[in-house]
Amino acid sequence: MCKPTCYLCKIEIADKKNSHIIPKFLGKELFISDLGNHAIQIDRDGKCKKIQTIPKEDFILCVSCEKRFEIIETFFARFFTKLRDFENFTDNFDIRTLGNQNYIVCKKLNPKLFKLFIYSLIWRLSISTHFANQKYKLPIKIEEELRTFLDRNLKIDHTSLISTINEVENIPNYDFCLIKPENKFADFKGMHSAFQISKSIYLLALVDFIIFFYIDDSIDPVLKIYSNKQNNDIIIPISEDERWFALNKLILSKILNTQQSRK
């Protein structure tokens, strides 16, 4: 079989198998429940199927580009572990309130590093064939803009990544918001999906986080307050239970509608 060239560096052969499109730490909770180690996948016809791991894909990356993703993911696996337990890490996180909305301020996180990570998710989903069913595809120009940014700035080891991050320039400039639920629910883990809501809005539902990503200026003024487009401290609104469920319900109906409309 003729293997393609690595999607990231566009130089080496894409010989890596089992590349995660979404890092494991943003989905593993889905597979741990009282009912067993599985999750329910809803396919394009609305049919449900048990799955045991989150999607992987062969031959999209070379070994060293896979390693570069692994380096930044290792960093963010630790970050997300703390974020899930933010009340016990007051050195890292502040809680502030605007109106009646609580939000987290990440005091020790370099915003450039966070953008590198978020863009790595947005880009991988776009090049993956697994999410093509959900019509998740960035315009070619933006996909290439993110690719060159990632290729230039993802490093092969932790020390180089951290020591060069402050010099990173020409960061692609997009609105994106990360939302976290206030509580955990024993009977509802959350959803694991990615799809394009409209021409300019992309959504990632990552079990206990939801990310909205915009490729133009169409962000809702209320959400705009929580956008991380600027290079300030990263902020994360905390969603009350009722709103979190409403948001998940909306996502599910969007997924099913998208699927129905293709029939």
- Catalog residues that contact Zn ion under the rule CB under 5 A: 6, 8-9, 12, 62, 65
CB 227 within 8 A of CB 219: yes
**Among 58, 82, 41, which Cα is nearest to 7's?**
58
The amino acid at residue 110 is N
Token representation of residue 161: 């990544």
Smallest distance, Zn ion to C-beta of residue 148, A = 13
Q: What does the alpha-carbon distance between residue 110 and residue 210 come to, in Å, rounded to a whole number?
A: 20
Smallest distance, Zn ion to C-beta of residue 7, A = 8
Smallest distance, Zn ion to C-beta of residue 201, A = 29
Smallest distance, Zn ion to C-beta of residue 107, A = 34
The torsion of the CA quartet 221, 225, 226, 228, rounded to 10 degrees, works out to 100
Q: 62 or 177: whose CB is closer to Zn ion?
A: 62
Q: 65 or 127: whose CB is closer to Zn ion?
A: 65
CB 236 within 8 A of CB 103: yes
Q: 154 or 210: whose CB is closer to Zn ion?
A: 154
Smallest distance, Zn ion to C-beta of residue 202, A = 24
Q: 3 or 137: whose CB is closer to Zn ion?
A: 3
DSSP label of 3 = P
Token representation of residue 220: 């809702």
Q: 98 or 156: whose CB is closer to Zn ion?
A: 156
Q: What does the alpha-carbon distance between residue 74 and residue 67 come to, in Å, rounded to a whole number?
A: 10
Residue with tokens 């060069």: 164
